[in-house]
Structure 1
Amino acid sequence: MARITAKNAQEILKADLQTLVNDAERLLEHSAALAGDQADELRDKIKLSLDKARASLEDTKESLHERGEAAVTAAEDYVQSNPWQSVGIAAGVGFLIGLLATRR
């Protein structure tokens, strides 16, 4: 699978969903006038658009999952190689949160 960046995946997903919305609007506008083969053809087109949008959503989900796992791994590696710095950073963040929480 080619690596998809989050921004590219978002753009692809947006385009696919826009196509799906356009096809659905066309179906609603012409549903009363269409009969038989025309209605079936439009339904097939909408089904293809929906399938493409679902595939894009799945690719985006997988990409985000991979990036999340990479971030967790990087954080774990940093903490293991710099334990005292990690403790200091956590203490500092906790102190700042405490200050903000007591300010009213």
Structure 2
Amino acid sequence: MARPTAEKAQDILMADFQTLVADTEKLLAHTASLAGDQADVLRDQINESLQRARETLALAEETLRERGKEAVVATEEYVQNNPWQSVGIAAGVGFLLGLLATRR
């Protein structure tokens, strides 16, 4: 399974980006009362930017989730195919972390 902290960070990033898009949409709605050609052009540009941001967000989210799933599958396959090597690596990492922790 992927690290919970990495998944949490991804979720926070996606939520923040979605909040940004929502806030920009609200700003766009509030500018509807402005008059003039420049205001119309500005609203159109903001709307186009929001659409691109939504598409980019959806693509990024899908890509991140796919990469995460692939990493989990690859790790699980490696551990199942090489259980003793995996145990040795985990023990080595634990030993190094123990050394670092006792030095502080």
Q: TM-score, normalised by structure 2?
A: 0.63
For 1:41 and 1:48, how far apart are their aligned partners in 2?
Answer: 11
- Report how many aligned residue pairs link the two structures: 73
Match of 2:67 in 1: 67
| % identical equivalent positions | 68
For 1:96 and 1:38, how far apart are their aligned partners in 2?
Answer: 62
* Structure 1 portions without partners, runs of 5+: 1-23, 25-30
SS at match of 1:35: coil
Q: Residues 6-65 of structure 1, C-alpha deviation per residue, up to 9 Å, x if partnerless?
A: xxxxxxxxxxxxxxxxxx9xxxxxx8xx73343123202211111101211210111111
Off by >6 Å, runs of 4+ in structure 1: none
Counterparts in 2 of 1:68-87, with a 5 A limit?
68-87=68-87
For 1:100 and 1:42, how far apart are their aligned partners in 2?
Answer: 56
RMSD: 2.0
Higher relative contact order, structure no. (Cα contacts within 8 Å, ≥ 6 residues apart): 1
